[in-house]
Amino acid sequence: MSAVPDEPPSETTPLIPSSSLSDDAKYERFSFRRKQTILATVSCCRLLTFFTSSSFTPTIPQIARDLNTTGSIINLSVGVFVFTAAVGSLFWARYSGYYGRQPIYVASLPIYCLGSIGVAACRNVPELLIFRALQAFGSCAFQSIGAGTIADIFKLEERGRAMGVYNCLALIGPSIAPFIGGLVAERASWRAMQAGIGFVGLVALVLVIIFLPETMHPGTRGIDKAEAEFIKNGKSRKILVLLNPFRALALMRSPVLFLSTMAATATLITDHVVLLPLAYTIGERYGVGNQALVGALFLPSGVGNMIGTTISGWLSDNSIKKWRALRHGEWLPEDRLRATWHGALFLVPLSTLGMGLAIHFIDGSPGIWINMLLLLTHGIGITMVLGPCATYNVDIMYNRSAEVVAANYAIRNGLVSTVILGVLPAIETIGVLWTNGIAAILGWIGFGLIVVCIRYGARMRAWSSIQHTDGSR
């Protein structure tokens, strides 16, 4: 292993101990304009993850025909993508704590580009699965580390709104990707779509190199601490280190982290139950066979995501401010979760159940329009749950923000990836009504877990062996 060369302090190689900076100074290292540039860059790059997964779904029937297999078999690649992204987020988050955020972004994007080109050129199902896994591994860094980047540069009172913008910009992907993916597949080929997003990955890499500095607080990276140890004791410094990427999962020993993650998971399952089989539910039920039109069916959900993310960011920040004022300045992190109530109790489960009823009982154009309205409602509701839950996790584990988001993402998407495999078989066996009904019940269970967190969160943080941001244990 070669030694790390001596470098002067800079924004990208901070050597000033974080403890020597005041709380305000930690967040004032970047100007308002620079923060907005960083936020926009990270959000646009995170869009790749959502765009990649969402543009693939409406093309499943065409891919199945092209590779001489069935939709259920091609659906395996969706589960592989989600599972690999879950594990990959742990890997990237762990190493971002040592090397910093920016080097991880630069390392992950070329892998994403290679995976995308491989998917476009695949000749059979095994090749498709391998390159989809590579594609997922390269794209998932922004899912976990992006939230950590936002926590690096925005204060508590600004973080919810910044996370809202981050999610809103990123969710442009689910809004337009299915339509674009379906349109390209209809006019050219699903392979052209995959090659195209590989090229976009190269553009994103250039943007990251130009516009994205290192954002971790000075002196907090592992490599900074190794540098300080070298200066103090003359110990050797190593460029390459072996780290355990699964260490972040130990954070789930915290009851509040575990319960809020399970609540988000239950909500996310409803999203996959509703969206994944659209080509086989609404598409077949109402005779929508054109790939572009199948992709257009996803638009209301994506628009709802964008609306809901904007609302949830504002609601979660105002919930913190309102309840802090009522307690005469005392901060309870669980107050942020109060912003999830409308989405978790009403919008998500009722729209999921309503779609099952509409598809089963309502024919013709009225059925299509009712389902589009319910997809919009569901899209709003799901982000009103996921957004505050994610920001809450960052709030209570600020010092390990990237790791906690990665652990949340890994647990959540690991469970979802197994559910994905059973969605189409469940619809074929028990029908869309019962499948959606079971998903709606899971949504209400998620709401119950959020209520437990709000009511008993302070006590559970005190019981936990995990150290939380507010000092509770």
Domain locations in the chain as residue ranges: 27-214+248-463
Q: By mean pLDDT, which of 17-21, 91-95, 298-302 is the weakest? A: 17-21
Q: What is the pLDDT of residue 10?
A: 34
pTM score: 0.74
Residue 66, class by beta-carbon neighbours within 10 Å (0-12 exposed, 13-18 middle, 19+ buried)?
Answer: middle
pLDDT tops 50 at residue 16: no
Residue 225 and residue 231: Cα distance in Å, rounded? 10
Q: What is the pLDDT of residue 51?
A: 84
Q: Encode pLDDT of 213-256 as tens digits.
A: 998 888 888 888 777 776 667 666 666 788 888 888 999 999 99
Least confident of 204-208, 292-296, 462-466: 292-296
* DSSP label at residue 330: -
**pLDDT (tens digit per residue) in 129-142:** 999 999 999 998 88
Indicate if the pLDDT at residue 371 is higher than 60. Answer: yes
- Residue 238 is predicted with a pLDDT of 63
- Calpha distance 318→281 (Å, rounded): 39
Which of the four pLDDT bands, split at 50, 70 and 90, describes residue 15? very low
Judged by average pLDDT, the poorest of 224-233, 280-289, 343-352, 410-419 is: 224-233
27-214+248-463 has CATH 1.20.1250.20 classification: yes
pLDDT of residue 45: 86
So what's the pLDDT on residue 226?
Answer: 77
150 or 354: which leads in pLDDT? 354
**Total length of the chain:** 473
Task: Examine the pLDDT at 71 and tell me if it is beyond 90.
Answer: no
- Which positions ≥6 away from 237 have C-beta within 8 Å? 3, 4, 226, 227, 230
Query: What share of the chain in percent tops pLDDT 70?
Result: 91
* pLDDT at position 4 over 60: no
The two counts, helices (H) then strands (E), for the chain are 19, 0
Mean pLDDT of 374-402: 89
pLDDT for res 19: 45
Q: How confident is the model at residue 24 (pLDDT cuts 50, 70, 90)?
A: low
* 78-107 average pLDDT score: 90
Note the maximum CA span of the chain: 76
DSSP notation for 207-223: HHHHH----SPTT-SHH
Per-residue model confidence as pLDDT tens digits over 450-459: 999 999 999 9
Give dist(CA 181, CA 119) in Å, integer. Answer: 14
Task: Name the nearest CA neighbour of 138 among 100, 109, 114, 117.
Answer: 109
Is the pLDDT confidence value at 473 over 90? Answer: no
279/186 Cα distance (integer angstroms)? 14
pLDDT at 265 over 70: yes
Task: Give 470's pLDDT tier (boundaries 50, 70, 90).
Answer: low
pLDDT score recorded for residue 171: 67
Instruction: Specify which of 13-22, 164-173, 415-424, 430-439 reaches the highest per-range mean pLDDT.
Output: 430-439
Per-residue pLDDT, 298: 85
Sort 44 into a burial class: Cβ within 10 Å, 0-12 / 13-18 / 19+. buried
The pairs formed by 420-425 with CB atoms below 8 angstroms and a separation of 24 or more are 420/75, 420/78, 420/79, 420/82, 420/272, 420/276, 421/75, 421/76, 421/79, 423/75, 423/272, 423/273, 423/276, 423/277, 424/71, 424/72, 424/75, 424/276, 424/277, 424/280, 425/72
